[in-house]
Chain A
Amino acid sequence: METLVDLSRLQFAITAMYHFIFVPLTLGMTWILVIMETIYVITGKPIYKDMTKFWGKLFGINFAIGVTTGLTMEFQFGTNWAYYSHYVGDIFGVPLAIEGLMAFFLESTFIGMFFFAWDRVSKKQHLLFTVLVAIGSNLSALWILVANGWMQDPVGTVFNPITMRMELSSFFAVLFSPVAQAKFFHTTCAGYVTASVFVLGISSFYLLRKQDLPFARRSFKVSALFGLFSSIAVIIMGDQSGLYVYHAQPSKLVAIEGIWNTEQAPVSWSVLAWPDREKHENLFDIRVPYVGSLILNHNFTDPVKGANEIIAENKDKIVKGQQVLLQLEQFRKNPQDTSLVAEIQANSEYLGYGLLLKKYTEDVANATPQMIDQAAEDTVPNSWPLYYSFRLMAALGASFFILFGFASWYSFGARDAYERKTWLLKWALWWMPTPWIACWAGWFVAEYGRQPWTIFGILPTYLSTSTLSSGELIFSLTGFTLIYTLLLIVELWLMFKYARLGPSSLGTGKYQFETRGK
């Protein structure tokens, strides 16, 4: 059973991370294309049309695999997380279905128009198509992050003992959950940063090689400015998301920060430490005073609860949950007798904590004190992976702000000096893989930090899977990894080829490699 859970998690992680290679670039590239095409429509300069088409070509190479890997995400909850789907489908299915109806149709219908309708409609109409693609792709991010936000902070839902599942009580609570909204803006802005680094890096490559300079200069400037605003937004929204973690998921916060005992205000902040899960302490710890209060909860009066206190509180919840679970079992045996329903629902906030015991015993009534201790210990995820991936993400986030700051300053402020700043161009070029590392690190913090839950406080990960054999999981995991890797290799090969060719790949006859021979 545990192997099955681990393999299911690994498969979800791998397929989601592959998918998230393509998604952030799509989210940001669509807006960069909108900016370029808008300049084209306003100024009428053909170079901006070529820019839209060329960056659109690279965008298309990326988009194809984004669509492919996205298919898995829509169906994997059913194939591999059947109990999860059963238990929360009444709520979780809603944003996914609306995502399809409202966002995917829009994005996918007009992406075809973006590529193929250049000669069939007016300039303005074509711009409208590009805008619709951008809106569609960003709306799809909205709905999927509403779904994920709900997994982090499950609002607007009640447990129904008759159907044995969570059911929706308030759609608006789910949609306007502040956790979901902060996540949406943080994630989409991260996508804008990713796309900006992509365009800035490739433009720098042309500038370094003195290839298609007018084309490269304009692309550089557009991405520098868009990236600057996006990198500021991603930091602000990241800070907001962090604040919601403090309120909604204290167990994730203490793991990220390596806080074992409750700290009174003003709280210091750990810069470098090695959190030890077994001993509940940090082996070494370099701390800056006051900063913790500033960034963790935005005030200098409230304490920050430590892991030990959280575990003790959760132990109480598990004991209460054990009782609710027993009542539920009693009710399931005799469903005609509905006298227990009200009581079960009144205490259903503890039900999930009771379910944590199922990892250790089927017979929850006779769970030993050791099992309860162990289940309580589980409620705080392992600290060091979160501690370091969070700091990696945050440091990269800051680096993007600095990079775009320099790039914008030199290209807009100090006129055209940037072309001679080879250190800046090389930095932009070599920095190209880092936004993806930051995105992955961020998702790792979000998902690993929520453990041991799939739905925080409601459904343990251990219970969420389908009843499959390990053999089936090994088969599918191998298949997904092989196919995705193969597709990624082809994608990267084409991407490098077309990025090197530059705008000459449009076949207009105006660019490098086309004019040189003439």
Chain B
Amino acid sequence: MEYAILRVIWWVLVGVLLIGLMIMDGHDMGVGTLSPFVGKTDSERRAAINSVAPHWDGNQVWFITAGGAVFAAWPLVYAASFSMLYIAILAVLWTLFLRAPAFDYRSKIANPTWRSTWDWVLFVGSAVPPLLFGVAFGNVLLGIPFHYDDNMRLVSDASNPIMGFLALLSPFAILCGLVAFSMTAAHGGVYLTLRTEGAMQARARKAATLFSLIAIVCFAVGGFWVGHINGYVASNLSPIAQSDPLAKSVQIVQGAWLNNYHEYVWFAVAPILGFAGLILSIVFNTRGKSGVAFIFSGAGMAGIILTAGMSMFPFVLPSSTDPRSSLTAWDATSSEHTLLLMLVAAIIFTPIVLTYTSWVYKIMRGKLTTARIEENSNSMY
């Protein structure tokens, strides 16, 4: 297979992993975020938590696998994004740490203080990571200050680490963070509507509608804003050359992130899918069809992630201080041999993973009532 085709496939596959991450890990993060608000009693909160209890750990593997796949397919991106956004990545990891013990330890002791503490720990561990993912994406759109030296060592051009971290929290990046946060909260809300009953279900439905609306508004504002921030345009970039980011030249042009939509009009399906998915999700959820609504909120998230990726294509990690050092889908990949090998692995294992994941969801389907929680108090979260 040709190197260029493999590289496009891997751009798509990384996108698929990120979308999978947001749909799967996203809904249990949404549940963790909403649980203290839609659950008014301990049993109600337990119903929310137990709706994802058997699945959150498997869902988190999307995050780990996305990391591993980026390492294998885009080692330069793996090295640059995680080391150049050091403090931000630590914040993501440290908050994610809180989820496993919060899920597993909360129900182990009946003390109300113990339980409400873990509720808020779970909230932080579920709400902060998507917010930071969005902020990180926003910063990637803006460009990260780094360059390569003669030995291909990455060097940060941020003035100092603390200022560097604070600089990440620009208004545009925070807007992107809000998009990611509100779409996962909405997605979790739809999922809770599907899995609960009564007053709690009504609260979850309301939350889903509210956060979907916020996501739609923020996404629309972001779309206009992108026309006014700096985009990047590459020349001299070969899709088949060996991966050497310094071989190309790059110009910074305001609004260039919208160029792709002029060149390939069909790229507009991504933002359309983003808006349509979220709107239809609200429509179906308010009419009591939360299963269909869940599919649409997932589609909406896919559209939003694709919009970010397709606006930048072929860029993956632009450098704001040394644009030539920017990483793209053409010059930051593994060797042809490794990309092919990893493609074979993905073709074999992804269908297997999807099959058994749907199987376990099917086994655990059904409403989680507070009565069921109280009957099985010792074996449930």
Q: Does A117 contact B (CB under 8 A)?
A: yes
Q: Is B235 positioned at the interface, with any CB of A under 8 Å from its CB?
A: no
Binds A, one of B99-107, B190-198, B269-277, B293-301: B99-107
* A308: Cβ under 8 A from any B Cβ: no
Interface residue A476 (Cβ < 8 Å from any Cβ of B): yes
Smallest distance from the beta carbon of B2 to chain A beta carbons, Å? 18
Residues of A within 8 A of B356 (CB): 106, 109-110
Q: Are B334 and A466 in contact, CB atoms less than 8 angstroms apart?
A: no
The CA of A106 and the CA of B71, in the complex, are separated in Å by 20
Residue in B76, B346, B363 whose CB lies within 8 Å of A120:
B363
Collect the chain A residues with CB atoms within 8 Å of residue B97's CB.
68-69, 71, 483, 487
**Of the 9-residue stretches A74-82, A190-198, A206-214, A406-414, which lies at the interface with chain B?**
A74-82
Residues of A within 8 A of B50 (CB): 116
The answer to whether A303 has its CB under 8 Å from any CB of chain B is no
**Taking the nearest CB of chain A, how far is it from the CB of B380, in angstroms?**
7
A53 to B108, CA, bound (A): 14
A82-B79, A83-B154, A472-B87 are known contacts. Are A491 and B101 too (CB-CB below 8 A)?
Answer: yes
Which B residues touch A468, using CB under 8 A?
Answer: 83, 86, 156, 161
For A96, A101, A116, the residue with the greatest tally of chain B CB atoms inside 10 Å of its CB is A101
Q: Which listed segment binds B: A25-33, A161-169, A440-448? A: A161-169
Residues of A within 8 A of B150 (CB): 332
Query: Closest residue to B333 on the A side, CB-wise?
Result: A90
CB distance from B84 to the nearest CB of A (A): 8
| B131 vs chain A, min Cβ distance (A) | 18
Whether, in the assembled complex, B288 has its beta carbon less than 8 Å from a beta carbon of chain A, the answer is no
Complex contacts, A171 vs chain B, CB 8 Å: 341
**Contact: A93 with B72, CB < 8 Å?**
yes
- For residue A60, which residue of chain B has the nearest CB? B104
- Smallest CB separation, B366 vs chain A (Å): 9
B104 touches A61 (CB 8 A): yes
The answer to whether A67 and B100 touch (CB under 8 A), given A78-B78, A118-B379, A171-B341, is: yes
Q: How far is the CB of B78 from chain A (nearest CB, A)?
A: 5
Q: How far is the CB of B243 from chain A (nearest CB, A)?
A: 5
Q: Which residue of A lies closest to B78 (CB)?
A: A78
Is there a chain B Cβ closer than 8 Å to A111's Cβ? yes
Query: Could you tell me how many residues of chain B have their Cβ less than 8 Å away from some Cβ of chain A?
Result: 75
* Residues 327-381 (chain B) with a chain A CB within 8 angstroms: 334-335, 337-338, 341-342, 345-346, 349-350, 353, 356-357, 360, 363-364, 377-380
Say yes or no for B6: interface residue by CB 8 A criterion: no
Closest to A143 in B: B68
Instruction: Select from chain A the residue with minimum beta-carbon distance to B152.
Output: A164
Q: Is the CB of A75 within 8 A of B82?
A: yes
Is B64 in contact with chain A by the CB < 8 A criterion? yes
In the complex, what's the smallest C-beta–C-beta distance from B56 to chain A, in angstroms?
8
Which residues of chain A are near B8, meaning CB under 8 Å? none
Chain A, 67-121, CB within 8 A of any chain B CB = 67-72, 74-75, 77-80, 82-83, 85-86, 89-94, 96-102, 104-106, 108-113, 115-118, 120-121
Tell me whether A97 and B108 are in contact (CB under 8 A). no
A104-B61, A112-B54 known; A98 and B335 CB under 8 Å? no
How long is the Cα–Cα vector from A112 to B60 in the complex, in angstroms? 12
B151 touching A160 by the CB < 8 A rule?
A: no
Contacts of A369 in B (CB 8 A): none
Instruction: State the majority secondary structure of interface residues on B.
Output: helix
Minimal beta-carbon separation of A8 from chain B (angstroms): 11
> Within 8 Å CB of A108, what residues of B?
57-58, 60-61
Chain B residue, CB-CB nearest to A72: B93
Smallest distance from the beta carbon of A362 to chain B beta carbons, Å?
Answer: 10
Please give, as numbers and ranges, the residues of chain A lying within 8 Å of B154 by CB-CB distance.
Answer: 82-83, 86, 466-467
Q: Chain A residues near B160 (CB, 8 Å)?
A: 469
- Evaluate contact between B83 and A75: CB separation under 8 angstroms: no
| Pairwise interchain contact B89-A61, C-beta atoms closer than 8 A | no
Q: Which residues of B contact A78 (CB under 8 A)?
A: 67, 71, 78-79, 81-83, 89
In the assembled complex, the Cα of A100 lies from the Cα of B244 at a distance in Å of: 28
Q: Are B342 and A67 in contact (CB under 8 A)?
A: no
In the assembly, what is the distance between CA of A292 and CA of B243, in Å? 48
Q: Check: B261 CB closer than 8 A to any chain A CB.
A: no
Residues of B within 8 A of A83 (CB): 79, 153-154
Whether B16 sits at the interface, judged by CB under 8 Å, is no
A-side contacts of B350, CB under 8 Å = 101
In the complex, chain B residues whose CB is within 8 Å of the CB of A53: 379
CB of A76 to closest CB in B, whole Å? 8
**Selected contact of B72 from candidates A64, A94, A116, A507, CB within 8 Å:** A94
Which residues between 125 and 183 of chain A lie within 8 Å of chain B, taking CB atoms? 160, 162-165, 167-169, 171
Cβ-defined contact, A117 with B54, below 8 A: yes
Q: Is A289 close to B, CB under 8 A?
A: no
Determine how close the nearest CB of chain A comes to the CB of B374; give it in whole angstroms. 13
Question: In B227-264, which residues have CB < 8 Å from any A CB?
Answer: 242-244, 247
Interface positions of B (Cβ within 8 A of A) = 50, 53-58, 60-61, 63-65, 67-69, 71-73, 75-76, 78-83, 86-87, 89-90, 93-94, 96-97, 99-101, 103-105, 108-109, 150-156, 160-161, 242-244, 247, 334-335, 337-338, 341-342, 345-346, 349-350, 353, 356-357, 360, 363-364, 377-380
Further 16 A-B residue pairs, CB within 8 A, beyond A109-B55, A168-B341: A68-B99, A70-B64, A72-B93, A75-B89, A78-B71, A79-B82, A79-B90, A85-B79, A86-B152, A94-B342, A108-B60, A112-B58, A116-B54, A164-B244, A167-B337, A490-B105
Interface residues in chain A, defined as those with a beta carbon under 8 Å from any beta carbon in chain B: 53, 60-61, 63-65, 67-72, 74-75, 77-80, 82-83, 85-86, 89-94, 96-102, 104-106, 108-113, 115-118, 120-121, 160, 162-165, 167-169, 171, 332, 335, 466-469, 471-472, 475-476, 479, 483, 487, 490-491, 494, 498, 505-507
- In the A-B complex, the 8 residue pairs with the smallest Cβ-Cβ separation, listed nearest first, are A89-B75, A78-B82, A112-B54, A93-B72, A100-B65, A93-B71, A109-B58, A507-B378
